[in-house]
Structure 1
Amino acid sequence: MSALKLHGIVPPVVTPLTPDYQVDEVSLRKVIRHLIDNGVHGLFLLGSTSEVVFLNAKQRADAIRIALDEANGAVPAVCGVMDPTTDRVIENARQAKELGVDGLVVTSQFYPRTSQNETIVHFSMIREAVDLPIVAYDIPVCTQLKLSRETLMSMYEQKLICGLKDSSGDDGNMRMVMKDFEDKPDFSILTGSETTVDYALLGGAHGNVPGLGNVDPAGYVRLYEAAQRGDWDAARAEQERLIRVFQIVFQGVPHTSPNASGVGGFKTAMHLMGLISHRHMSRPNQLIPDAGVEKIRQILTETGLLH
């Protein structure tokens, strides 16, 4: 397995859509430039914030192709290949490799109820089929399975995974995982939280995969750089400002689902900032209502992101 050690700020890239639900190439190129120009350390294509499970094979391929072309190798790019079953994940992984990504991001199976042992087999089959580094993605709210510490260590020892994106919300368990891997310099641990990044970096995390990083990549880069130089007061101050920005994710509820409110909050903010042409999501997710849009505009203005 080729080496891949992710670190720093690696946003899960929003997938802008045209009114007929195709990938908006002009907007996606603008998003990639926005991220790279503001100093991110990597790109996570086709993550949850990217609406990966809503996208068909063509849409996934278009998003990967456009993003990699615009990035032009400036930073590492990993790609989510999530799907309910192993064989479908392998198909997605082969497509991603052919298009040129640097690594894969894989969850346990979802919809079919699975076990820790079957999850290890799932990862081993993907790893055997496609020769790319794999980052394990722990997101039990979507998969209904929490990747145990023992499972993660077993997969690492079998050379199946090179890192972890922890979106479990279980900060206590993540802290113990960081302890488990403290003497494994080839393994990277990244938090998926937008709001506890300073805590995670202090505890030993190597970086962060923030959906809100699409809106304010420079803020997350400042937070990471402050942590790297040991300026925890500056890291905390930046984290607290980002928490204020993060309130955009709540402005769709109860009109939308919490998921659509989150992704819709990001897309609405990016639309207001001139980064994307349209703010709609994949069907059937509903737009943030007008009152929510105005609240997002107010939050962006108050936090210095919109003038």
Structure 2
Amino acid sequence: MTLFTGTAVAITTPFKDGAVDYATFERHVEFLITNGMQSIFVNGTTGEGSTLNEEEKLNLVKLAVRVAAGRVPIVVGTGSNNTAASIEHSLKVKAAGADAIMLITPYYNKTNQRGLIAHFTAIADAVELPVVLYNVPARTNMTIEPETVVKLAAHPHIVALKDATGDMRYLEQVRAAVSDEFALYSGNDDSIIPFYARGGDGVISVVANAVPAEFQAIYETYATDPQEAERLFNQVSPLIDALGVDVNPMPIKALVTALGYANGEVRLPLVPLEQADSAAIHQAYKTYKGEVS
């Protein structure tokens, strides 16, 4: 099955005085769905999932599911470096109404490719929800080799890969070896055009937190006019570049704060951006939107 095609968003989690700001999160989810997002990914890296406690995570899932009301799938990050803990939490997320889960490769206590297969298979077998594998070696120092993806793709519940390698050769190898029903999603906003050109099915985006309709339009345009899609991408590219000033999600958190979907807070070990960096991002956004500074 294909969960979605086009643009999904790795949604930020707003905080106020240290607590999760559920009211602002609810408004943000509605804004994103209304403006064309094809799926919402909750409690991932961009959502600061590693700093949320279980009650907060489950509350966010329940709220996202309620607001979405079946309009788009809600996918929840439940991966960790503890297989049993991932299974336990994934089952609770399933009970909360999630449509699918996303599983990052184990980090710190790394495994090998056989271990990856055993880890992901154990979770998929136990939870029986669609699984999106998440390959992000820059954060985990671990990659899912193409041959391993092929083996995992044979599992009935493992349906997609979020590929944040930025390696187009890797994408080509995986795309050539898996069925068309197995979806490949980019995890990098800055390379969506070459990703789509090589058969990618969409993107799980960070910048779409702020410009959802515009980023989805690039995907839709690519199907009929790749040159126009590239022109549209080149317009938003300076904003994507501006968001690279520091570690995600600190820059996007500063931008969505300016848009009213966060309150400027992140949780340690993250820290708010320097004022000059925030100002540069805000200016890049205004320039992209054609607003007078």
TM range (shorter): over 0.9
The equivalent of 1:233 in structure 2 is 227
Query: Contact between 1:196 and 1:239, CA under 8 Å: does it hold in 2?
Result: no
The equivalent of 1:105 in structure 2 is 102
Task: Give me the whole-angstrom Cα distance separating, in 1, the residues matched to 2:59 and 2:3.
Answer: 26
| Cα drift, residue 17 of structure 1 | 1.2
Superposed, which structure 2 residues align to 1:37-186 within 5 Å?
A: 37-181=34-178, 184-186=179-181
| Cα drift, residue 232 of structure 1 | 1.0
Matched, 1:296 2:281: yes
Query: Contact between 2:3 and 2:73, CA under 8 Å: does it hold in 1?
Result: no
Q: Percent identity?
A: 24
Query: Contact between 1:211 and 1:266, CA under 8 Å: does it hold in 2?
Result: yes
Deviations 1:49-73 (A, max 9, x none): 1111221111211211111111111
Deviations 1:96-127 (A, max 9, x none): 10101111111222110210001100011111
| Cα drift, residue 176 of structure 1 | 1.8
Q: RMSD of aligned C-alpha atoms?
A: 1.5
The equivalent of 1:271 in structure 2 is 257
Matched, 1:283 2:268: yes
Query: Contact between 2:38 and 2:73, CA under 8 Å: does it hold in 1?
Result: yes
2:5 aligns with one of 7, 10, 25: 7
Paired AA for residue 225 in structure 1 = E
Local SS of the residue matching 1:10: strand
Matched, 1:199 2:194: yes
Paired AA for residue 287 in structure 1 = P
Unpaired runs of 5+ in structure 2?
none
| Cα drift, residue 222 of structure 1 | 0.9
Paired AA for residue 266 in structure 2 = M
Task: Give me the whole-angstrom Cα distance separating, in 1, the residues matched to 2:105 and 2:68.
Answer: 29
Task: Give me the whole-angstrom Cα distance separating, in 2, the residues matched to 1:32 and 1:209.
Answer: 15
Task: Give me the whole-angstrom Cα distance separating, in 2, the residues matched to 1:196 and 1:52.
Answer: 25
The equivalent of 2:22 in structure 1 is 25
| Cα drift, residue 306 of structure 1 | 5.4
Task: Give me the whole-angstrom Cα distance separating, in 1, the residues matched to 2:27 and 2:200.
Answer: 29
Deviations 1:266-305 (A, max 9, x none): 11111112233x1211112111111122212211111117
Normalised TM-score (structure 1) = 0.91
Matched, 1:216 2:201: no
| Cα drift, residue 247 of structure 1 | 2.8
| Cα drift, residue 143 of structure 1 | 2.0
Task: Give me the whole-angstrom Cα distance separating, in 1, the residues matched to 2:163 and 2:173.
Answer: 12
| Cα drift, residue 236 of structure 1 | 0.4
Query: Contact between 2:90 and 2:127, CA under 8 Å: does it hold in 1?
Result: yes
Local SS of the residue matching 1:39: coil
Unpaired runs of 5+ in structure 1?
252-257
1:35 aligns with one of 25, 32, 41: 32
Bigger Cα displacement from structure 2, 154-163 vs 137-146: 154-163
Length, aligned pairs only: 292
Task: Give me the whole-angstrom Cα distance separating, in 2, the residues matched to 1:64 and 1:190.
Answer: 21
Local SS of the residue matching 1:109: coil
Task: Give me the whole-angstrom Cα distance separating, in 1, the residues matched to 2:127 and 2:14.
Answer: 28
Local SS of the residue matching 1:119: helix
Task: Give me the whole-angstrom Cα distance separating, in 1, the residues matched to 2:104 and 2:257.
Answer: 30
Task: Give me the whole-angstrom Cα distance separating, in 1, the residues matched to 2:112 and 2:88.
Answer: 22
**Structure with the higher fraction of residues in strand conformation:** 2
